[in-house]
Chains A and B, each alone.
Chain A
Amino acid sequence: MQELHNKIKSMLEGNSVALFIAYQKNSDGKITPTFITKPEQIKKAYYGDDCRQNLAVYVHKHEVKHFGKVGILANIYTLKALLQIYAENQFKDDYLKIVTVNPKGAVVEFANFQEVENYISENKPAPNPEYVAQVEKLSNLGREERWNYWLNELSTCIKCYACRAACPMCYCTKCTVESNQPQWISAPSHSLGNIEWHVMRAMHLAGRCIECNECARVCPMDIPLNLLTVKINEAIDTEFGQEAGTKGKLDFALSTFKVDDKENFIR
């Protein structure tokens, strides 16, 4: 941890960053984000495998951008999210200083997003086997059973939008769910409004979701939301061979095409 603290200290004092976003471990063991602006706050910074929250959500925040130059401590999912956001031209090169701790424990600072891309290709995590198994189990159910399962799960959604807030890829200034001309998604959280919301959320993340599974972790009702995007990512991988958060330039499923894309259901 000391190497990490020295890195943050040098960045802050060399004022290459005005704010450094990292994790901290509280007395009760809970991991929460910490926003370091002054040297005496550095000692709180912590990194470990139990750091699951995707800090990339904060790079879009108005009050964070206000700091100008921002440093961020990234786990592998945050890196994938930042690369995908960069690929979608959401921020300039010099806005972020990205730091990670590689599997061998060394602190790595990335000079540019090409380095991030290379690092990801070497340390890319496989999809979480537990969720792949759940998707497999659900896919093998009969259609009515699957419909009743999802109708039952999605009907409990209270539309607190924590899944949208915790997702680094959900950064639209005006989300379609907030549009009421036309009212694409019924606003109340009855079963119809919930299904429309979660279908639209999954489709707008198609080919962009980096599978950090934060949406499922933060859902107050414990709805396995991430299975929707895990299933779509599997389909995209098999049919188009693309994966989100692995390339620095725009190359994700729904905004590109191949003339000879194969399909078996269009007559």
Chain B
Amino acid sequence: MSNFEPKIIAFVCNWCTYAGADLAGTSRIKYAPNVRIVRFPCTGRIDFMLLLKALQTGADGIIVSGCHPADCHYTSGNYHARRRWMIFKTLLDFIGFDTRRITFSWVSAAEGAKWAQLVNETVAKVRELGPYTEYENLNKLGVGSITEVMNARTA
């Protein structure tokens, strides 16, 4: 899959990671262009459904990043987020989503280099994993279905 260009969606918090990404830009650090950044006031505001929506509309990888613990502009947003990610990662893994494609991280406003490195590593890993098609056009599966018990698709 040499020419596969993965689409990565990054959900980042405005005060730290977004500023860090901005710093990477102003200090001319080159990093892979595959990332589309979505800015949130805080990681505490990143709803888990958004990650599902991103995977469903064609994202091959996801980065979720915000302030380090104790740095949160709203004091406890990232603590709540941390618990939410722990539980959500367990649930997605249990259902069988490919959680290797979801990278969680803390990037502060001063860590432009870490942001660039994070993006490059994620893009490389997802490029090697290939496109994530398991969770796409599932809204066609079962439409007009005449069988209630779908045939077992396990290998």
> Is any CB of A less than 8 Å from a CB of B in the complex?
yes
Decide if B139 touches A191 in the complex (CB within 8 Å).
yes
Decide if B90 touches A150 in the complex (CB within 8 Å).
no
Which residues of chain B have C-beta atoms less than 8 A from A206's C-beta?
Answer: 87, 91
Decide if A156 touches B70 in the complex (CB within 8 Å).
no
If the complex has contacts A145-B154, A199-B52, A267-B118, are A261 and B79 also in contact, measured as CB distance less than 8 A? yes
Decide if B96 touches A259 in the complex (CB within 8 Å).
no
Is B86 located at the chain interface by the 8 A CB criterion? yes
User: Which residue in chain B gives the minimum CB-CB distance to A185?
Assistant: B49
Decide if A254 touches B150 in the complex (CB within 8 Å).
no
CA separation between A207 and B93, bound complex, in Å?
A: 18
| Number of A-B residue pairs with CB-CB distance less than 8 Å in the complex they form | 136
CA separation between A239 and B49, bound complex, in Å?
A: 23
Is B120 located at the chain interface by the 8 A CB criterion? no
Is A235 located at the chain interface by the 8 A CB criterion? yes
CA separation between A37 and B95, bound complex, in Å?
A: 45
Within 8 A of B (CB), among A248-267: 253-254, 257-259, 261, 263, 265-267
Decide if A147 touches B86 in the complex (CB within 8 Å).
no
Decide if B90 touches A235 in the complex (CB within 8 Å).
yes
Kindly state the interface size class of chain A when it binds its partner. Answer: 35 or more
Decide if B138 touches A266 in the complex (CB within 8 Å).
no
Kindly state the interface size class of chain B when it binds its partner. Answer: 35 or more
Decide if B90 touches A231 in the complex (CB within 8 Å).
yes
Query: What does the 1/0 interface line of A15-33 toward B look like (CB < 8 Å)?
Result: 0000000000000000000
User: Which residue in chain A gives the minimum CB-CB distance to B150?
Assistant: A155
CA separation between A30 and B42, bound complex, in Å?
A: 51
Decide if A193 touches B96 in the complex (CB within 8 Å).
no
Decide if B105 touches A266 in the complex (CB within 8 Å).
yes
Decide if B83 touches A192 in the complex (CB within 8 Å).
no
Residue from A148, A194, A261, A265 within 8 A of B154 (CB atoms): A148
Decide if A259 touches B87 in the complex (CB within 8 Å).
no
Query: What does the 1/0 interface line of A167-210 toward B look like (CB < 8 Å)?
Result: 00000000000000000111011111111100110110011000
Decide if B91 touches A190 in the complex (CB within 8 Å).
no
Is A152 located at the chain interface by the 8 A CB criterion? yes
Report whether over half of chain B's contact residues are helix, strand or loop; otherwise say mixed. mixed
Q: How far is the CB of B11 from chain A (nearest CB, A)?
A: 14
Within 8 A of B (CB), among A131-160: 135, 138-139, 143-152, 155-156, 158
If the complex has contacts A191-B141, A196-B49, A267-B105, are A150 and B91 also in contact, measured as CB distance less than 8 A? no
Q: How far is the CB of A113 from chain B (nearest CB, A)?
A: 26
Q: How far is the CB of B108 from chain A (nearest CB, A)?
A: 13
Which residues of chain B have C-beta atoms less than 8 A from A228's C-beta?
Answer: 91, 94-95
CA separation between A205 and B152, bound complex, in Å?
A: 28
CA separation between A183 and B49, bound complex, in Å?
A: 11
User: Which residue in chain B gives the minimum CB-CB distance to A266?
Assistant: B104
Query: What does the 1/0 interface line of B121-149 toward A look like (CB < 8 Å)?
Result: 00000000000001100111111000011
Which residues of chain A have C-beta atoms less than 8 A from B69's C-beta?
Answer: 259
Decide if B91 touches A203 in the complex (CB within 8 Å).
yes
| 5 CB-based A-B contacts, threshold 8 Å | A147-B95, A148-B154, A202-B91, A206-B91, A259-B69
- Report B's interface with A, CB cutoff 8 A: 48-49, 52, 56, 69-70, 76, 79-80, 82-98, 103-106, 118, 134-135, 138-143, 148-150, 152-155
